[in-house]
Amino acid sequence: MSEPNPSAKIQFFKGVDEPVVPEIRLTRSRDGRTGQAFFVFEGPEALSPERMGEITGMFLIDEEGELATREVKARFVNGSPSALEATYVWKSQVDFERFMRFANRYAESHGLGYSDTSGEEKK
């Protein structure tokens, strides 16, 4: 039917794809309507000296369009930026389903999989 979409990507600067693949953790409310996705990018290119600029958000882009969040923070070690942490929040089942379609496309286009721990595993 449809083939994997290699254009599912994450950007911190418009037009510049972030090649570092993040660790992503999801949490949902008990009723499943709201939730958050926590992204951690260790050593992202967006923090490299050549690219250093003001990061105004994280943009999740695929064939359906763009999801965006402004909740992006840098993590520092010994005064140097080492990671980016971002949070994407959804407030409805429709928004969650849209996020999951992006996540599946991103995983597919980057040769990734995911595991459902259903809250049983805690780190």
**Segment 58-117, tens digit of pLDDT:** 999 999 999 999 999 999 888 888 999 999 999 999 999 999 999 999 998 887 766 555
What's residue 115's pLDDT?
59
**Helix residue ranges, H only, 43-86:** none
Of 77, 78, 109, nearest to 2 by C-alpha is 109
What's residue 63's pLDDT?
95
What's residue 121's pLDDT?
38
Q: List 79's β-bridge partners, or say none.
A: none
List, in sequence order, every beta strand (DSSP E) within the chain. Answer: 9-13, 16-17, 23-28, 35-42, 58-62, 65-69, 72-77, 80-90
Amino acid letter at 32?
A: G
What's residue 48's pLDDT?
84
Contact 59/68 with Cβ under 8 angstroms? Answer: yes
What's residue 50's pLDDT?
75
Residue 52, pLDDT > 70, answer no
Quick one: 9-107 is in which CATH superfamily?
Photosystem II Psb28 (2.40.30.220)
What's residue 112's pLDDT?
76
